[in-house]
Amino acid sequence: MKSIVIATSFVLLATTAAAQVDLTGVWAPYRGGRGADPKLAAPAATPLVLKPQYAGPFEAKRKADADAAAKGEPIASGAVACVPYGMPRMMQVALYPIEILPTQGQITIVTEAFSEVRRIYMNTPQLPMGDVPPGYYGRSVGKWEGDTLVVDTIGIKTTVPAYQNIPHSDQMRITERLRLVTKDILHDQITIDDPVVLEKPITYTLAYRRMPGYEMVEFVCDNNREYIDEKGGTHLRVRDR
């Protein structure tokens, strides 16, 4: 009987702790800056080490991108053609905010850039790696570990570039640990594990600040004056009159 009471109390305490963490609302990238508390800024990322067969082509592509940019014809990313970012890059695009919307059994994240939507199913088992149809957002499941929301994502299409545009395989797994470091500063620690492409997992952190009262701005990509030439270079369509 006593053990039941203790177990019940523990569950209640755990539930109460989780319930106190409310991520609801709009969050903008937090860049720190002069005068900011360094503890609030995102810690540095771990080194990016690709397996040799991927490192060579990746460096070659970086160089080609730099050369094209120097000529004023940067190699277009998908965003130039208004293709959304997908996971994990959608979690921080320039200065665009994201909106976190917890509901019963689910946490939905809507981004302002390109109006991307991802759904995190809470306390639900993840599917086996090969059972998720490849897409931009894959399948995300989440659970609270104390004050930290832990999210597991698999099923990201291999054509969707990952962190720093690294290539990835269909074995990529993204683990996020979202935690409030203060009432109004949120960190999302992201670990990318891909045993095919990476020598070891990469971990980096995104920092956000709360935006009370902010109303998300719509983003429908209907006036794209940039275009991509046959070599993949980006150009601006200039009008005569």
Partner 1 sequence: MIALLLAGLLHHSFAMFDTTKAVTLVGTVTVFEWTNPHAYIELDVPGDAGAVKHWTIELGSPSILQQAGWKFKDLKFGDKVTAVVSPLKSGQAGALLSRITMPDGRVLTNGPVGRQ
Q: Which residue has the tokens 């597991």?
A: 152
**Cβ distance to partner 1 smaller for residue 33 or 125:** 33
Q: Does 113 bind partner 1 (CB under 8 A)?
A: yes
The CB-of-225 to partner 1 minimum distance in angstroms stands at 6
Q: Which residue has the tokens 């996020």?
A: 176
Tally Cβ neighbours within 10 Å of residue 5.
9
Region of 30-38, 130-138, 149-157, 163-171 interacting with partner 1 (CB under 8 A): 30-38
Identify residues 53-112 at the interface with partner 1 (CB under 8 A).
Answer: 68-77, 79-80, 82, 93-97, 112
Q: Does 183 bind partner 1 (CB under 8 A)?
A: no
Strands 139-145 and 148-154: antiparallel
**Cβ distance to partner 1 smaller for residue 125 or 212:** 212
Q: Does 210 bind partner 1 (CB under 8 A)?
A: no
Per rule CB under 8 A, count of chain residues that contact partner 1: 44
Kindly state the helix (H) or strand (E) to which residue 109 belongs, with its residue range. Answer: strand 106-111
Q: Which residues pair with 185 in a beta bridge?
A: 182, 209
Question: Which one, of 143, 133, 137, 134, lies nearest residue 106 by Cα?
Answer: 143
CA-based Rg of the chain, rounded to a whole angstrom?
A: 20
Q: Does 19 bind partner 1 (CB under 8 A)?
A: no
Q: Does 48 bind partner 1 (CB under 8 A)?
A: no
Q: Does 186 bind partner 1 (CB under 8 A)?
A: no
State how far the Cα of 189 lies from the Cα of 85, in Å rounded to an integer. 18
Q: Does 231 bind partner 1 (CB under 8 A)?
A: no
State how far the Cα of 197 lies from the Cα of 217, in Å rounded to an integer. 37
**Cβ distance to partner 1 smaller for residue 32 or 201:** 32
State how far the Cα of 142 lies from the Cα of 118, in Å rounded to an integer. 12
- Which parts of this chain interact with partner 1 (CB under 8 A)? 30-33, 36, 68-77, 79-80, 82, 93-97, 112-113, 209, 217-226, 234-241
